[in-house]
Structures are given as structure tokens and as C-alpha cells.
């Protein structure tokens, strides 16, 4: 978090920032005025003064050219839809993220935790318990989302170098205006992001989505850590190779219903149809058959409607995957949610409940590390994989810069 002693440094680092092709150059013309003295000067003094002035001017021009060349050499640009091209004169040091997908990318690249995220409660840092020598102190991460959305004043208070967030999310869900986006972009720092976690938003239909690793590569370019991204990409490729023989053939894979439910005794559920968003990457990689896709149950993103146990019983999926329960351990989940369903008059009739096939569904917001953890977990749960399918120590090495 920037303090008063950093304000001059922060201003300098952002002077040459270009956002969406517009140069943010406040204060660059300061110091260009001049003045003259009122005293009398002799010929000798005049000659000396002229020579000294010429020499000083030459030195100043040389220094300016050197500084300009260095700045030009260090600047770099990264583009992402819907933001466009963002040019940085130096690597950002402080940042915020709209959700755990992007926050997890930072951990994978060995960055300090973001200063804030929309909802820290949905950034499940306990997944890092699976990775040696990698942890995040979530108490240092500020919650930015409140009853009225994301307060603009918080961006001034945090004074982050870059805001890893899709501005269209703020426009459509956060009650911001175009003027608000422009103000924070120019007065504090640029936005850089895309709402990759879901493909259910109508306002996202007119610009492209990114896969998890496409977005991760863009993120790595912003923070100039492409070498760690490339190493992590190799881990992911190896994981996919290890996963392939574990996934059963089409007819042997169970059908699963994905629902959201909070609390220990849920009786109302928000249904999710599996799409290509990154929140479903683990289910797509596991090629889970979607029990809701061919039913009349409407996806949560379509109408924000909830269903009850009676509706779930009509579908009667082989597996029930419950979101909103990631803060619980497997044992806690079994002793609360599953136990409640087993003793519920209607829920107890579900095939998934009778066969003990009710599981935590995995996080809504997944980055490269969390995706590996939840995919590996569900592979062992659904398909009885015998051992871990990725090298946790290698993940730790990359995060800690041991490439």
C-alpha cells in the first residue's frame, strides 16, 4: 500500500503510462519556463556565462536523451479485450484483482498478494496448503465489494499501480459509469482484465473470452514474468497428459448436476449449466456429463432462479456437485451438508445422496494453482485416481522463482 513517502515515486512511475492509446502525461511539461536577471554584465562575464550556459545545456540535453532512451527501452505494451492496449513504463509493483482467478495467477508467478479483491471470502487460499512453501495471508487483502458494489474511493486509498479487473463488470454489476472508469484509469492506474470465469453474461457477448492460460499469459506479460508462465504452462501440459488416461470413456462417466448452496443445511440451490468459463475448467477437463444441460431447469445466469430438492429429484443426477462449500474440509462437508441431505425427507431419495456421491464442486474463481488442486481432487473422487496427477513441488519451485 502506497504511503505519503511514496507519492513522488508513484507519480514518476506512472507519468508515461498509456491507457487505451491515450497518454497520461500530467506534469510532464512542468519546469519548462525560464527567466532572466536584471543586473549589468561585462563582456568578459558575458562570454563566461554564455560558455557555461552552452555547456550546461549540452549536458542537460545529453542527460534527457539518455533518460528518454532508457524509458523507451523499458516501456512495454500488453493488450487484452475489452480494455485494449496498455503501455507501462515500468513493471507494476502494487495491484488489485477482481477475484481469486487473477489473485491466484499472482501467487503462481511469485508476486505479493493483491491489495484487495472484490470478495476475499471466495478466494480460497487454503488450496495452497497442498503446495509446499506457498501461502497467502488473506488478512492483508481488503474486501472491495460492499452493499452498493465497489466503492470508487477505495481505488484512491489503495493507489495500486494496476487494477486487474474487467471494467465492463464494474459497468454492468458494480454500478459504475464510463466516467468513473476513465477517472480511475487516469488518476490512479489502468484497468487490465476480462471476466473469464463465466460465459453467462449477456454484456460479454460482443467481445472475446480467454481461456485460463490465455489470460494467465497476458497477466504474466503485465508483470514481466513470462519465464514463470512458460514453466507453469509445462506443468499444466504434463498434468493434462497424466489426467487423460484417468478419465473414463463417454458412456462410463457419471452425469453430474452443479449447484450453488451455502450454509450447513441448504434447501435451495442455484443451478449451473457447465459452460466454457474458467470456473468450469476442471469439469470440462474431467469431461463430466452435465445432468442439467438437457433439462428444463434454467441456468442461474439466465434468470437468477433457485430450485429445491423436489426439482433436483426430478432430474435425479448420479452426482451432485455443490458450490459455495469450499471453505469446508471434506470431513466438515460430510458432517454438515451431506448428513443433512441423508436425513432429509426428499433429499434422501436422491440417487447421489443414497450412493454417497455428493461432493464439493470446486471454486467459482480458479487460477492456475487452484485449478490444478480442485481438478486433481475431483479426479480422485469421481474416477478413483490412485495418486496426485501434478508435481506440487514443481509448482512451488516455479512460484518461488526456482525455474
Average pLDDT of the segment spanning 233-247 = 98
Residues 323-343 pLDDT 10s: 999 999 999 999 999 999 999
Average pLDDT of the segment spanning 259-277 = 95
CATH superfamily name and code, 242-399 = Nitrogenase molybdenum iron protein domain (3.40.50.1980)
With a pLDDT cut of 70, the percent of the chain lying above it is: 80
Our measurement of the distance from residue 131's CA atom to the centroid of its chain's CA atoms, rounded to an integer in Å, reads 19
pLDDT at position 297? 86
Distance, CA of 76 to CA of 82 (rounded, Å): 19
pLDDT at position 7? 41
Residues 116-173 pLDDT 10s: 999 999 999 999 999 999 999 999 999 999 988 899 999 999 999 999 999 999 999 9
Does position 21 have pLDDT exceeding 60, yes or no? no
pLDDT at position 70? 44
Q: Are residues 375 and 225 in contact, defined by beta-carbon separation less than 8 angstroms?
A: no
Least confident range of 22-31, 183-192, 323-332, 370-379: 22-31
Does position 303 have pLDDT exceeding 50, yes or no? yes
More confident residue, 57 or 24: 57
Confidence band, pLDDT 50/70/90 cuts, at residue 298:
confident
Confidence band, pLDDT 50/70/90 cuts, at residue 296:
confident
Average pLDDT of the segment spanning 184-197 = 97
Place of cell 503462481: 108
Domain boundaries, the chain: 242-399
Residues 85-123 pLDDT 10s: 999 999 999 999 999 999 999 999 999 999 999 999 999
pTM as predicted: 0.82
pLDDT at position 56? 46
pLDDT at position 192? 98
pLDDT at position 73? 56
Q: Are residues 120 and 138 in contact, defined by beta-carbon separation less than 8 angstroms?
A: yes
Confidence band, pLDDT 50/70/90 cuts, at residue 305:
confident
Mean of all residue pLDDT scores within the chain = 85
Does position 12 have pLDDT exceeding 50, yes or no? no
pLDDT at position 20? 42
Amino acid at each position: 500500500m502506497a504511503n505519503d513517502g511514496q507519492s513522488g515515486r508513484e507519480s514518476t512511475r506512472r507519468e508515461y503510462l498509456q491507457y487505451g492509446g491515450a497518454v497520461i502525461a500530467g506534469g510532464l511539461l512542468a519546469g519548462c519556463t525560464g527567466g532572466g536577471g536584471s543586473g549589468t554584465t561585462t563582456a568578459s562575464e558575458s562570454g563566461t556565462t554564455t560558455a557555461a550556459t552552452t555547456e550546461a545545456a549540452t549536458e542537460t540535453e545529453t542527460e534527457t536523451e539518455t533518460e528518454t532512451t532508457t524509458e523507451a527501452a523499458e516501456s512495454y505494451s500488453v493488450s487484452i479485450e475489452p480494455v485494449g492496449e496498455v503501455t507501462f513504463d515500468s513493471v507494476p509493483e502494487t495491484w488489485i484483482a477482481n477475484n481469486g482467478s487473477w489473485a491466484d495467477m499472482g501467487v503462481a508467478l511469485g508476486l505479493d498478494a493483491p491489495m484487495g479483491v472484490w470478495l476475499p471470502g471466495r478466494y480460497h487460499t487454503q488450496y495452497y496448503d497442498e503446495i509446499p512453501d506457498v501461502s497467502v495471508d488473506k488478512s492483508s487483502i481488503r474486501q472491495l465489494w460492499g452493499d452498493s458494489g465497489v466503492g470508487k474511493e477505495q481505488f484512491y486509498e489503495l493507489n495500486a499501480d494496476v487494477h486487474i479487473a474487467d471494467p465492463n463488470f464494474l459497468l454492468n454489476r458494480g454500478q459504475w459509469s464510463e466516467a468513473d472508469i476513465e477517472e480511475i484509469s487516469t488518476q490512479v492506474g489502468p484497468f487490465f482484465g476480462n471476466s473469464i470465469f463465466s460465459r453467462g453474461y449477456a454484456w460479454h457477448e460482443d467481445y472475446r473470452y480467454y481461456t485460463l492460460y490465455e489470460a494467465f499469459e497476458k497477466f504474466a506479460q503485465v508483470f514481466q514474468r513470462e519465464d514463470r508462465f512458460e514453466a507453469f504452462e509445462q506443468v499444466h501440459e504434463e498434468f493434462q497428459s497424466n489426467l487423460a488416461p484417468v478419465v473414463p470413456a463417454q458412456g462410463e462417466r457419471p452425469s453430474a448436476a452443479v449447484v450453488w448452496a451455502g450454509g450447513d443445511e441448504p434447501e435451495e440451490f442455484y443451478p449451473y449449466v457447465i459452460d466454457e468459463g474458467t470456473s468450469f475448467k476442471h469439469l470440462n477437463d474431467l469431461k463430466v456429463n452435465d445432468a442439467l444441460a438437457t433439462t428444463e431447469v434454467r441456468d442461474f445466469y439466465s434468470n437468477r432462479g433457485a430450485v429445491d430438492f423436489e426439482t433436483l429429484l426430478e432430474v435425479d443426477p448420479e452426482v451432485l456437485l455443490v458450490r459455495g462449500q469450499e471453505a469446508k474440509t471434506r470431513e466438515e462437508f460430510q458432517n454438515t451438508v451431506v448428513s443433512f441431505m441423508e436425513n432429509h425427507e426428499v433429499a434422501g431419495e436422491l440417487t447421489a445422496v443414497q450412493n454417497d456421491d455428493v461432493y464439493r464442486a470446486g471454486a467459482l474463481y480458479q487460477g492456475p494453482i487452484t485449478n490444478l488442486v480442485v481438478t486433481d481432487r475431483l479426479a480422485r473422487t469421481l474416477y478413483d485416481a490412485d495418486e496426485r496427477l501434478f508435481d506440487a513441488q514443481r509448482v512451488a519451485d516455479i512460484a518461488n522463482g526456482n525455474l
